[in-house]
A and B are shown apart, each in its own frame.
Chain A
């Protein structure tokens, strides 16, 4: 008898693994996140070292893809083009954005309310529509700007040509300038003017203040902004694909697209390009986050808003307003106007009295009865709703683990969930394509593969929105529920989720908006019957159906505008507290 007890004693010391259903939910969320964040990357790397698998031949290990990618002189052209394009875009967008931010934050330029409308524009006008509208404006043959100037000076000379490196930089930089504006606004706001003022009080001249105080303080922010713009530009797909490819200017993203769409498709080569691109973006994001965290050390955020001294521009105010209005004209009025104009034409044509008389609603009729329109709308909506809901729920659990528990390895989970951030859309599309080509679980060629891609791509956004809200929930609110006898699941459902609501709703709408516009991942993953709206626009462009595209674009922009306004309204109503 006594031997039995002694034999059992050590076993009793081990922690009893009482099964708690909460581990099911937590485990499932962690698995989903790790799977989505890691597995596609693994397959991408694997594929880049293997020959394509076919029924006749198994995949073989090879350096061929990299040899093909790097041995040819073309690749160096490709690399050089990418760097030129991304650097040019980053610098131009930075200059525009910084100028606007400085005007808004530190001068008495009138019409300031309009400045913040800028931050919404890139959400409302999808990249593909912005690019298309600039083709309609700046193409050498059909571009309105050229035609108008040619008429004015009665020549045949081509004034602007968007089908060029400079054209690509111009359009992409305009598209990313609102982002530069927001980042630099934050940098200007984070800087306490008292630091400059105390330098002035110490007897420093303006030049000395700028050189010895202002610049060292904002330098991390400037560099971080440039880096993030560089990463965004090198990732962008629409502009290089629509403007660069027709004239043979290739960058990494468009080269990946072409390698896949060539016949026979060279997935291995595409993967080799993708790995290179991924390396560049990872480095960029890494240094950017290092800089930002160092920037925070300098930032003098006191929480209380200080009203910096504003520079009185005097008569220059009107120049400033003119600059701003010109910018607004380029980024909103012209692109939307040209789409609106061509959406009322039977054939694409230059505005004239004659053309005004020919105005018609035909494009709208055609597009509304277009065979795949309603299916695309349905697909887009279903995908947007589904992925926004899944992301917000899964990340709420992930975020809870990261913020509220002391589980070992939670920082790793946080990083894995943020990993898709460094994936350019087309690289993510390629990785997921490879993964489900080789893992035949019936996902490839269905709409589910798009859902997986969207959930992966926008997971970091959900995490960010939820983290902001989660940090505001006091630990004791949860603990008091436990003391009241509530299980983990009940606490999560009745306490955590309702308290997360502001972040959940805001993030949910934001993800809806970005996933409806998604193109660069979808382009490699869609299949006939599973088109989404952005793919439909792409197809219309390829078919040369410009007026129908314009009609769809106008309706799309209006719908997105309504969604964005709704998001703004929800944001102000439930208010993510910024105290």
Chain B
């Protein structure tokens, strides 16, 4: 449906210097799927989205939507944003304050080359307002809407043209935490029901994991890893991805031996059996990533391998769980445990690491 290949975008900064915002970005989004560009601020995710929208003019690359080329540096094609017919929701929602709810949503049908009869516009606007449950408020001043309602109106305005592709630029970041969580479900339900192909930009990893069919993690203008939410979370390709998505412990080590998908690592906390993404040679320096919830704690020594011993250093009670900082050899590892575990600070404890969940990453 959407195909981006070799996209490079630069812009001129405040002091005239060239800033390379996106570099060799390539990905495909199949029909009806929700694709997320995830990364810290300044990683180029918004620039990539704006290049698809046509609000930014890339240096090179090619973008096609549904087989039609909307940008190609080779063929010298650049369709301006107002002729691309894509729907977009902006971070600030960009609701026009001088129009009513209805006028805002009707605008895309009134401008450009389309000339729809008034009655037809009315029908379509009311239908789309109903989809986002704003049909009751059609005649209200747009500025009188709450944050969540404005967000839904922005979505309605993007959908009213029935675009082939919907672009969402951090649409939930301006909402408070409670509302954000609710809108997350709402957005997911709408996208799945309408089956509209969507590109979603966010810096919030939990949002990305909750909504997406697939995710591209970006850093410094490049895509670091592309995959399903589960792949990204459980099998990060490198330290950046492991660190950016959720919390993780990094343990340094050297590969001792490899065999049937697992590696034996001589690490700074002792010998560990771990899995790996890239093929690794014996003797290679690696960093092992293991998530706090994948380190099981127990006072009695458990059966099996990959068991370490340490001392509880700090405890933080979080309600649904307790975070333990455990000193093992020269390192401190973070582990998330059930609140029923009551080991005191300063007491010894055992840590058990599932080899499947420990991922060895090549040293960068």
Q: Point out residues on A near B: beta carbons under 8 Å.
A: 12-16, 406, 474, 476-477, 479-487, 490, 494-495, 498-499, 501
Contact = CB atoms under 8 A, between A and B. Distances in A.
Contacts of B203: none
B98 A485 contact: no
Nearest to A480: B94
A480 B90 contact: yes
A482 B98 CA distance: 17
A490 B108 CA distance: 11
Contacts of B3: none
A487 B94 contact: no
Nearest to B89: A480
Contacts of B54: 482
Q: Chain B CB within 10 Å — which of A15, A482, A494, A498 has the most?
A: A482
Q: Chain B CB within 10 Å — which of A12, A476, A484, A486 has the most?
A: A484
Interface stretch (B79-87, B287-295, B318-326): B79-87
Nearest to A20: B80
Contacts of B97: 499
Given A480-B157, A490-B111, A485 B82 contact: yes
Contacts of A476: 90-94
13 contacts: A477-B96, A479-B53, A480-B88, A483-B55, A483-B81, A483-B84, A483-B87, A483-B167, A484-B82, A484-B161, A486-B82, A486-B112, A495-B96
Contacts of A501: 98
Given A480-B96, A486-B111, A487-B111, 16 more contacts: A476-B93, A476-B94, A479-B90, A480-B88, A480-B94, A480-B157, A481-B96, A482-B54, A482-B80, A483-B55, A483-B87, A484-B108, A484-B111, A485-B111, A485-B114, A498-B96
Contacts of B93: 476
Interface string B157-178: 1100100000100000000000
A498 B158 contact: no
A485 B157 contact: no
Contacts of A486: 82, 107, 111-112
Nearest to B80: A482
Contacts of A481: 96, 107, 111
A494 B111 contact: yes
A16 B53 CA distance: 20
A490 B113 CA distance: 11
Contacts of B167: 483
Contacts of B96: 477, 480-481, 495, 498-499
A6 to B, nearest CB: 15
Contacts of B340: none
Q: Chain B CB within 10 Å — which of A15, A479, A485 has the most?
A: A485
B12 interface: yes
A479 B12 contact: no
Contact of A12 (B76, B87, B88): B76
Contacts, number: 81
Interface of B: 11-12, 53-55, 75-76, 80-88, 90-94, 96-98, 107-108, 111-114, 154, 157-158, 161, 167
B130 to A, nearest CB: 20
A479 B93 CA distance: 11
A499 B96 CA distance: 8
A13 B76 contact: yes
A476 B11 CA distance: 18
A495 B98 CA distance: 8
Contacts of A487: 82, 111-112
A485 B83 CA distance: 6
A494 B99 CA distance: 10
Nearest to B81: A482
B55 A482 contact: yes
Contacts of B157: 480, 484
B94 A477 contact: yes
A90 B46 CA distance: 53
Contact of A479 (B55, B84, B113, B154): B55
Contacts of A495: 96
A486 B104 CA distance: 13
Contact of A485 (B11, B55, B75, B108): B108
Nearest to A487: B82
A157 B11 CA distance: 77
B329 to A, nearest CB: 51
Nearest to A483: B88
Contacts of B84: 483
B209 to A, nearest CB: 26
A490 B114 CA distance: 13
A175 to B, nearest CB: 40
Contact of B12 (A12, A406, A485): A406
Contacts of A485: 82-83, 85, 108, 111-114, 161
Contacts of B55: 479, 482-483
Contact of A482 (B82, B87, B91, B158): B82
Nearest to A488: B82
B108 A15 contact: no
Contacts of B81: 479, 482-483
Nearest to A495: B96
Contacts of A498: 96, 98
Given A479-B55, A485-B111, A485-B114, A16 B91 contact: no
Contact of B53 (A483, A490, A494, A499): A483
Nearest to B167: A483
B169 to A, nearest CB: 8
A479 B94 contact: yes
Q: Chain B CB within 10 Å — which of A476, A495, A501 has the most?
A: A476
Contacts of B53: 479, 483
